[in-house]
Structure 1
Amino acid sequence: MYNIKTIIWLLPILFMIHDFEEIIMAEAWSKRFKKELKEDTFMMKKKPFGLNDTGYWSTAAFSIGVEIIFVILSVASILSCTFNSYFIWYGFLFAFTFHLIFAHFYLCIQFKHYVPGVVTSALFLPVCIYIMYISKSLLKYDLSKVLLSCIAGIIFGIIILISLHDGIKNFSKLLKRYSLE
């Protein structure tokens, strides 16, 4: 009934739908909650969407980061399908699922208001858990392989996110410089 070569394409699709919510809402959200985000009572060490004293990441710069992650997830899916090796793909699926919980639910609870991405996180969390369960069964992964894949996915995810967060600042500068030339 289930085919792993079909299931793997759900990861880039779910990722993009989730990030569309963030892309569409981040700018309006940061304007709506400008006062709350600047208050000293806001407990977050790092503010979401690159918020700082000068504003937030531009939607265009943020979209470049999203595009890069989409390409990475799509390439991982293509390579998984081509080589019948799903270890990295499964890790990325876990990292995405982990992101839904800890980046959006945690932030929403801490902020006590809507945070872009939390709606699709609520919708996609059960779907991702089910996909992980079905995939584990289809791939016949034992617990050690699942754990190693999940750890690898988290490590790759952290490296990618740190690189992109730094990159988005540079994308913003490049886009601003391009618009002035």
Structure 2
Amino acid sequence: MKTMSFLVWIFPIIYMLHDFEEIIMAEVWGSRYHDEINICFPKNQPFGLNYVHTCQTPSFASGVYIFFTIYTIISFFSVFFQNYILWIGAFIPIILHFVIIHILICLKFKHYVPGLLTSVIFLIPSLLCIIEARQLLPYSSFTWILASISGTILSMFMMKFLHRLLKTISLQLKRYRSTE
């Protein structure tokens, strides 16, 4: 685990393995806990549920595909150009996502939340990747902090946009299913 190339490619793998859990569980979880979700999250429901009322797996998988593509492109260009600032700005928010979105929301919700299992499993390896990268890269603490904050803010906007896009994707898929 001594090369940045290895560490960089761990990121999209961790992201995808984590999101497989979400893809598999989000729709059935939304159905099972529909009433509890409405009570616990009256405005900002997880997995875009407040836009589609039931999380549809194809719509959710479309969103995952978009993010996976972005993260893969970031990883490729980080390795190709040996510039890892975008990678830092993309990976740190995923680690924060594990803690804030899955672990803390699970404590608030008092039930399983899709993605919790892989968040717990991948939190320590992700932190170890960042610690190793911190030792390998010549970037200052200021650069790390700036990349992390910028990436987190950008990720929040992208997630908000994506959740709105899920509504459009859901409607398009519903229309496609109904059309002969």
User: Normalization by structure 2: what TM-score?
Assistant: 0.94
Where does residue 65 of structure 2 map in the other structure? 67
CA contact (8 A) 1:16 1:70 kept: yes
Distance 1:48 1:20 in 2: 16
Q: Which residue of 2 aligns with 1:166?
A: 164
Which 10-residue stretch deviates more, 89-98 or 47-56?
A: 47-56
- How is 1:19-168 mapped onto 2 (pairs within 5 angstroms)? 19-39=19-39, 42=40, 45-52=43-50, 55-168=53-166
Three-state SS of the structure 2 residue aligned to 1:8 is: helix
Question: CA shift at 1:134, angstroms?
Answer: 0.4
Q: Give the secondary-structure state (helix, strand or coil) at the position aligned to 2:175.
A: helix
Shift in Å, 1:155: 1.9
Matches of 1:53 and 1:96, distance apart in 2: 23
What's the RMSD between the two structures over aligned residues? Answer: 1.5
- In structure 1, distance between residues paired with 2:104 and 2:178: 39
The question of whether the paired residues in 1 share the 8 Å contact of 2:63 and 2:162 is answered with yes
In 1, Cα distance between the equivalents of 2:51 and 2:43? Answer: 14
Contact 2:26/2:114, CA 8 A, preserved across alignment: yes
Q: How far apart are 1:152 and its partner, in Å? A: 1.6
> Given that residues 61 and 172 in structure 1 are in contact (C-alpha distance below 8 angstroms), is that contact kept between their aligned partners in structure 2?
yes
Q: Say which is worse superposed, 130-139 or 156-165, in terms of deviation.
A: 156-165
Cα distance, 1:89 vs. partner?
0.4
Paired letter, 1:21: E
Percent of aligned pairs with the same residue? 37
Instruction: Say which structure is richer in helix.
Output: 2
Deviation at 1:149, TM superposition (A): 1.0
CA displacement at 1:47 relative to structure 2? 1.2
Residues 1:122 and 1:44: Cα distance change in structure 2 (over 3 Å): farther
In structure 2, distance between residues paired with 1:44 and 1:147: 33
Opposite residue 23 of structure 2, the aligned amino acid is I
Structure 2, gaps ≥5 residues long:
none
Q: Distance in 2 between matches of 1:38 and 1:145?
A: 40
Distance 1:37 1:159, change over 3 A: closer
Q: Which amino acid counterpart does residue 36 of structure 2 have in structure 1?
A: E
Alignment check: 8 A CA contact 1:49 1:56 kept: no
Q: TM-score, normalised by structure 1?
A: 0.93
Unaligned runs of 5+ in 1: none
Work out the number of aligned pairs and report it.
179
- Could you tell me how far 1:153 is from its partner in structure 2? 1.1
CA distance in 2, matches of 1:76, 1:52: 30
Equivalent residue of 1:141, what SS? coil
Residue 96 of structure 1 aligns to a residue whose secondary structure is helix
